[in-house]
Amino acid sequence: MTAIIQLSKLELSSDYLNKKFNDYRLYTAAILLTLIPLGLAEGIFDYKSHPEIRSELFQLRLYFLLLVIPAWIILKSSSLKLSTATILITLVFSAYLGIKIIEHSGEELVTTVSNVALYPFFIFFVLIGFSIYIQILFLTVAFSFVVLSENHGVLDELIQNVYFQISVQSSVSALLIMLVFSWSYYHRYNLQLALEKSSQTDPLTGVANRRHFDNQLKSETTRSARSSVECALILLDIDHFKRINDTFGHPTGDRVICALADLCVNQSRATDLVARLGGEEFAIILPDTNITDAKNLAERIRKHVEDVYVTSDAGEIVKWTISLGISALPVNKRSANTIEIVMEMFIHQADSALYEAKNKGRNQTVLSQQNTL
């Protein structure tokens, strides 16, 4: 039940629907383009079955060439709303074109039934990358036309009965396929999220790993260079961590690492990125932050660490301290260096400040005095 509720909410989420649409963008365009030769090919049968009106039917079938327009919009547009409106107009146009062809060819049982049976599945295939609510809405609208035609006697009684029965069967079948596909895509979406998260997360602490840190730092460095916004970097590690492992054991060392990771996350903002670079070393990327505000956060973390402890396997109280180094990207300063070089210098300056904090006796924060980025 929880999964169904979550799926119902996701089908209204712009992020989810944008991803779903992008996953099936090419497929949707291909379906629309495939309908062009299929629609024109039916004109071959018109020459045998309706020789007297074959030219009129052929002219109607030429309108299938217009499907190039929605296919092009689907491929090029980045707007989900525009793409949805385009597809809905295309479905209305296709239904109208089908009705006009039936009107010209007459009430042939085979022609009428085939159109009615296939249209719900046509709706599904064309709307496969869109919200399940849009799919159900349009399927309902299409079925309502069947009910209206029956109630108003648009078709003769024989075709009318077959028309309605086939419509019910095909609409229900298409609805079941829509629901099954949406459920399947929901599980695929969650699996992709889990895989993406695992590739970016340190398995011990749950914070970002080195790979995600490098990508995010490059992104923030690029943003800072282009938009002249501030960005700061804190590097920190646990003082005498080897002594903790040797004295209390590696499980206790892991608890210390996890406790520090939790503390960094709790003290940082939602926009900051806390990452474990390896071993006992951590980093915090602070977008839109100057070096003074970064120091305030670093000192807050350092002082909280002094009040935190973990318990060893033997029940002993284990306390520890950390050292921190900070660097910042200068604002409104153009650099001839590439982003990769700026990143390297950004990290180097914070690392040098951290090294200085270690040399000065540990358990302190040092700011980088360099400004050569």
Whether residue 52 lies in the annotated active site: no
Which of 107, 280, 281, 299 is catalytic? The answer is: 280
Contacts of 129 (CB under 8 A, 6+ apart): 20, 21, 22, 23, 24, 25, 27, 28
The token pair at 315 is 């029940």
The token pair at 249 is 């054991």
Altogether, the residues listed in the chain come to a count of: 373
CA distances from 369 to 32, 291, 353 (A): 61, 11, 8
Angle at which helix 80-105 crosses helix 54-61, to 10 degrees, equals 180
Torsion sign across C-alpha atoms 254, 257, 258, 259: positive
Q: Which amino acid is at 85?
A: A
Contacts of 350 (CB under 8 A, 6+ apart): 233, 234, 235, 283, 325, 326, 327, 368
Residues designated as active site: 280
